[in-house]
Structure 1
Amino acid sequence: MGFVGEVWRLVRQEELLGEIVIGEADFPWLYGRFVPTEAFGEVKPWFDESRALLDAEEYDRFDKAYDRIADALSLVAPEGPVAEFLLHIKDGRAWFRWNDEPFDED
């Protein structure tokens, strides 16, 4: 799969929040440089909180915090929006996994 060099977009409805330039693919994760727009500042605290909860191994609280991201934002591949994603953004880097169908809730 030729993900390296692709540009994925993080959006809220039609508003571009940032772009991820893929630099590495290690299935199922993609890694890249995150280039935020000014609008990203409004949702950056959501990513900071979810990452802090994950680092603290507060998994139940992480799930609830991440739901806000998943419910309000979309990840758009070069081919179009993906159905489900798990995205982390920190210090200008992004890493994520995605699926064309929703993840299992089990």
Structure 2
Amino acid sequence: MGFEGEVRRQMRQEDLLGELVIDEAGFPWLNGRFVPTPTFRGVKPWFDESLALTEAEEYERFDDSYARIAGTLSLVAPSGPVAEFLLHISDDRAWFRCSDEPFDNV
């Protein structure tokens, strides 16, 4: 199934934080251009911190940091909100994986 051109929306309750326009699919990761809205500024530090922890291979601290993102934000596919996602954003690029089922059950 081709994902290129599809759009995912990053939401905080009813507020749109940005759109992810998929331009590359390499299972299980999808990559694309991230187009933020002005409200993204409020959560951008969360993504900066989680990415820095990943790059530093501080995975336990990453889990704690990323819990804030996963617990507060949602990722919405064309078919509706996904059950679980792992999303990284750096500048205007995003890469993510998502599932209709919680990752523990996949």
Tell me the TM-score normalized by structure 1. 0.97
CA distance in 2, matches of 1:71, 1:64: 11
CA distance in 2, matches of 1:35, 1:64: 26
1:100 aligned partner: 100
CA distance in 2, matches of 1:55, 1:27: 21
Task: List aligned pairs for 1:19-98, cutoff 5 A.
Answer: 19-98=19-98
Offset, 1:74: 0.1
CA distance in 1, matches of 2:38, 2:91: 15
CA distance in 2, matches of 1:84, 1:23: 21
C-alpha RMSD of the superposition: 0.9
Structure 1: gaps spanning 5 or more residues: none
CA distance in 2, matches of 1:70, 1:12: 10
Structure 1 runs (4+) deviating above 2 angstroms are: none
CA distance in 1, matches of 2:27, 2:51: 21
2:13 aligned partner: 13
What secondary structure sits across from 1:104 in the alignment?
Answer: helix
Q: How many residues in Structure 1 have an aligned counterpart in Structure 2?
A: 105
CA distance in 2, matches of 1:12, 1:74: 6
Tell me the TM-score normalized by structure 2. 0.97
Structure 2: gaps spanning 5 or more residues: none
- 2:40 partner letter: F
- 2:35 partner letter: V
